[in-house]
Amino acid sequence: MGIRTNILARVYLAFGLVLLLAIAVVVQLCRLQYVQGDKWKAMAADLSAQYQTVEAARGNIFSVDGSLLATSVPEYELHMDMLAGGIASDTAFNNNIDLLAAKLSGMFGDRSAREYSRVLREARRDSSRYVLIRRKVSYQDLKKIRQFPVFNMGKYKGGLIVIQKNRRILPFQSLAARTIGYKNENVKNPVGLEGAYSAYINGESGRRLMQRIPGGIWMPVDDDDEIAPKDGADIISTINVNFQDVAQDALKKQLVKSAADHGCVVLMEVSTGEIRAIANYTRTKDGDYKEQMNYAISNAIDPGSTFKLASYMTMLDQHKIDTSTIVNAEGGKYKFPKGPTITDTEHDNYEMSVKRAFEESSNVAAAKLVDRFYHNNPWEYINKLYSYHLNEKLGLQIQGEGRPVIKNPSNRSWNKNYSLPEMAYGYEMNITPLQMLAYYNSVANNGKMIAPLLVREIRRLGNPIEQFQARVITEQVCSEATLGKVRGMLEGVVMNGTGKNVIKNKLYSVAGKTGTAQVANGTKGYKDKKYQASFCGYFPADHPKYSMIVVINNPTQGDYLAAKVAGPVFREVADRVYANDLDINQTSQAHYVGNTVMPQVKQGNMKALKKVYSKLGVKPLYASANSTVDTSNGIPFEEVKYKNGTVPAVTGMGLSDALYVMGNAGYKVTVRGSGIVTNQSVTGGSAIPKGSRILIELQ
């Protein structure tokens, strides 16, 4: 009896557990079906099919002369549907797949024809609908691939699936690379023009319906259910490619010669504030120099003697001194009572005029004068400096501008015996090279101080959607009388002072100031005796067109004085700019070309062409010996015309003109080669939809 009861108890227990499990399963099924049904249905739909973002082609960045600085080049990712209609039968597949494998092997060379055949046959056995063929395929290669066996059956029968992606390239490679910048999802702060104007350049992403297939792979479902992306707008920068190349070459050459840590050059147009060149180089661990940081806009440190312009302008404008005022430079070394000992580079400076002290860059003279007139009222000096806006950011069009600091008596670090004498010649303050250049530019610009520009215009399909002009910071930094005096002092630096042996030029006049500053080395302070050499000025001095600053940090080979380190860079860039800018060159007499051969020109912007001939003074004559027709009035020009909705004829044009005309007509362009346009994939006058891509070939 006991055994029977024990067995029955176990049976009932097992049955009860099974029943409870069954009840739990039923309850869970009901819960999934009726309570969480909508949630799991949505998740299943999301896993099987969903819309995914299609990246838009980013807009281009152009130089001021139309050269392409940054662009997006289309690249293609190729997949294949192994069950496509054209190869659905085994016979059709086997008859063509080896031919396709041979073509792919010949095109890419990464696998043999046999290996390609094996991969494709294995994908067929697995019924793969989205097998990867190749990544990073160019448009030119894609056109050839479409003609391969199987793929030439058409989009749906051949099974070729093409996914377009965009790759950002810089046609001029390192030219102004840091200023152009880049877009990187891993970098929070925007870099350069690419980051600052990403809202325009990025365009608007589209969307494509994608389906998830076995293996966790997503493949497009149907092009009819796709929203095409909207390409980004184009940025017209103020950079001049030729001037940028000159600036980078001159700077790098001097950095190598001086074995310096880093340096920068900025060339700016005086009246417009447009930056024509901005170069920054940093010495890498392997001893080479690359653009890694934009020192011109971010590196706020002691400017050194270039700041003396502000000190002397202040004293002149407040009628404390005149250019003829005599100051004793104490032989180039002076110990202030309870203050610092200040020395000059030259140790034979004694009594001299203010103008001469400025030309010779006497630290002692500047420090003594500022301390004499402002020791008891430093705010009078500081407030005048603040009126030049040297303590404010310029508000540049790209991020990363360093914060300027002009110390005042309310600061904790202010010392009543040290601060004023040190500030007089550019210490105990922080100013970036571009901020200093903007101040010097105001002198060249008849006293008007403007914020520098890096972007002139934003265009979409060739049409301007936003234009920029320099913001006026102050209409007049000082009186006209003071302006005339400081201009004379700046010219004197090059004619008679520290810049005469390197920067002085017989062809054109230069005004500016040298600056040799000792810079602190972190916690070590000034013990290591690291120097910064700079020169800031403008040219031609009598009718300024360009202003420029050169800064080179820690030259370790040869000299460290500004005139001999920064001066050669300024001179080389200024010489090349002067030689290439027709507006600041002397106008030559008209020259006549032969009367039987027409000058060779490219088709395109006739207005620009006429301007070139006008500036060159060339007046072509075409009258032949057998003709009585007088054509001496000039070149017969004809503008390129096209009917709206048709493709323009760009054969014979240069690249910039062809891109402009095609873009303005609403077409996308792929470029191959260089020189003059010799062929276009769609004949001029053809009617094709706007937004279509056209290949142009140049030779």
- Give residue 669's Cα distance to chain centre: 22
The whole-number pLDDT of residue 191 equals: 80
Residue 182, SS3 per DSSP: strand
The whole-number pLDDT of residue 369 equals: 97
The whole-number pLDDT of residue 651 equals: 83
Strands 668-673 and 693-698: parallel
Residue 223, SS3 per DSSP: helix
How long, in residues, is the chain? 699
CA distance 469 to 407: 31
CATH node for 606-698: 3.30.10.20
Q: Rg (Cα) of the chain, in Å, rounded?
A: 36
The whole-number pLDDT of residue 548 equals: 98
CA distance 201 to 166: 13
CATH node for 242-580: 3.40.710.10
CA distance 10 to 302: 92
Where do the domains of the chain lie? 54-237, 242-580, 606-698
The whole-number pLDDT of residue 553 equals: 95
Please state which architecture CATH assigns to domain 54-237.
Alpha-Beta Complex (3.90)
CA distance 72 to 167: 5
Nearest to 533 by CA among 547, 514, 511, 520: 514
Nearest to 56 by CA among 687, 663, 668: 668
> Which strands sit side by side in the sheet containing 289-290, from one edge to the other?
289-290, 275-283, 262-269, 546-553, 530-539, 511-519
Residue 554 gets the label, from left (phi > 0), alpha (psi -120 to 50) or beta, of left
Which two tokens mark 93?
Answer: 């597949």
The whole-number pLDDT of residue 589 equals: 47
Strands 668-673 and 275-283: unpaired
Total Cβ atoms within 10 A of residue 208: 19
For the whole prediction, is pTM greater than 0.85?
no
CA angle 40, 43, 47 (to 5 degrees): 140
Contact 228, 204 (CB under 8 A): no
Which mean pLDDT values do the consecutive 10-residue runs of the chain (699 residues) have? 73 81 82 70 56 71 88 86 87 90 91 92 87 88 91 85 82 84 66 83 70 57 64 90 94 95 96 96 92 92 95 97 94 91 83 94 95 96 96 93 95 93 94 97 97 94 89 96 96 93 92 90 66 96 96 93 95 94 63 50 64 63 39 46 76 81 82 80 76 80
Long-range contacts of 319-324 (CB under 8 A, 24+ apart): 320/369, 320/373, 321/354, 321/369, 321/373, 322/354, 322/485, 323/353, 323/354, 323/355, 323/485, 323/488, 323/489, 324/353, 324/354, 324/355
Nearest to 209 by CA among 230, 195, 227: 227
The label of the residue with tokens 């046609």 reads 171
